[in-house]
A and B are shown apart, each in its own frame.
Chain A
Amino acid sequence: MIKNEPLTESYFYILLCLLEGPNHGYGIMQKVKELSNERVTIGSGTMYGATGNMIKKAWIQETKSDDPLDARKRLYCLTAPGKEILLAEYERLIFCIKSGEKIIKKGSANE
């Protein structure tokens, strides 16, 4: 894989949610909405595809819950490589913002 290849928004937000601990599909979806002030939503089909691909890449994995109330739910958790990918993307985004500021802020100062 090419290093620091941009993640899609769905991938980024799913990984971000899982950094706080294992979660199920609905929990991830709700949290993404909340984190993004309702800007990002992840539909069922998109969630299925994104998690399936990230399981294949070993960025996330399925896990069992300790809570008997959650036993029926399918939980997903972040793996060490997944965490690395997420943090690399975070760095890349910061870098993009800094590049943007050099041009965009300079542009608005001249207005």
Chain B
Amino acid sequence: MSKTKKTSFKTYAAWDYDQEEKDLDQLSKAGWQLVKGGCLHSTYKKDEAAAYRNRIDYNPSVLSNDEEKKRYLKFFEEQGWEFVNATFNGWCYFRKPIRVGTLESDYAIYTDSQSFDEMLKRWGKLAKGLNITVIVAAITYLIVAFAENEPVYMIGTLAFLGMFWGISAGVKKMNAKLMEGRS
């Protein structure tokens, strides 16, 4: 019996979300349709008859249950986007059936640089919060290393500094997307 469901543990960094969109489109073409996208794993269902364009957006207001969430999802629904799911930290997966005769540019959810910039800034806030946490952790390990006179704790400091460096590089990569979009 052939498989009808599969789980993928392939993970993407936030700043590679556009690569994830491309991969989702490829999987859809191959008959694997996204059921649930996630930061750590994604699930797919086999459906060879369907083909979707997948788009990922960042909007933490989807995590609340208020009017703003409804307002947000309505704009996608109105333009034929089906809301698949949102991750715990606010990434939203949408998909739209591919229709013959539709221009590729009509599948764009951001059509000007200002709104795209605002989306990247929404994510930038999350990255900033994460970076502050990481730095606090790095300093804590440093203090403990000195207080306990146990240099082994410095490994924690180095690990968190490494994370800080990684996230900062990612933020730069994310910001570069805006310039790419403009050129």
Interface check A37, CB cutoff 8 A: no
Residue among B57, B68, B75, B76 having the largest count of chain A Cβ atoms under 10 Å: B75
Interface check B6, CB cutoff 8 A: no
Interface check B91, CB cutoff 8 A: no
Interface check A24, CB cutoff 8 A: yes
Interface check B119, CB cutoff 8 A: yes
What sequence of 0s and 1s flags, for each residue 51-62 of chain A, a beta carbon within 8 Å of any chain B beta carbon? 111000000001
B107 to A, closest residue via Cβ: A43
Q: Which residue from B74, B94, B111 sits with its C-beta under 8 Å from A42?
A: B111
Q: Determine the main DSSP class of B at the interface with A.
A: helix
Residue among B57, B71, B72 having the largest count of chain A Cβ atoms under 10 Å: B71
Shortest Cβ distance from residue A11 to the other chain B in the assembled complex, whole angstroms:
8
Interface check B39, CB cutoff 8 A: no
Shortest Cβ distance from residue B114 to the other chain A in the assembled complex, whole angstroms:
5
A8 to B, closest residue via Cβ: B114
Q: Which residue from A9, A10, A49, A50 sits with its C-beta under 8 Å from B119?
A: A49
Residues of chain A lying within 8 A (CB to CB) of residue B115: 10, 45-46, 48-50
Residues of chain A lying within 8 A (CB to CB) of residue B79: 25-26, 29, 43-44, 47
Residues of chain A lying within 8 A (CB to CB) of residue B106: 41
Cβ B81 vs Cβ A8 within 8 A: no
Cβ B109 vs Cβ A46 within 8 A: yes
23 A-B residue pairs with CB within 8 Å: A9-B112, A10-B114, A10-B115, A25-B74, A26-B79, A29-B78, A29-B79, A40-B111, A41-B105, A42-B112, A43-B111, A44-B76, A45-B75, A45-B109, A45-B116, A46-B109, A46-B116, A47-B75, A48-B76, A52-B71, A53-B118, A62-B71, A74-B71
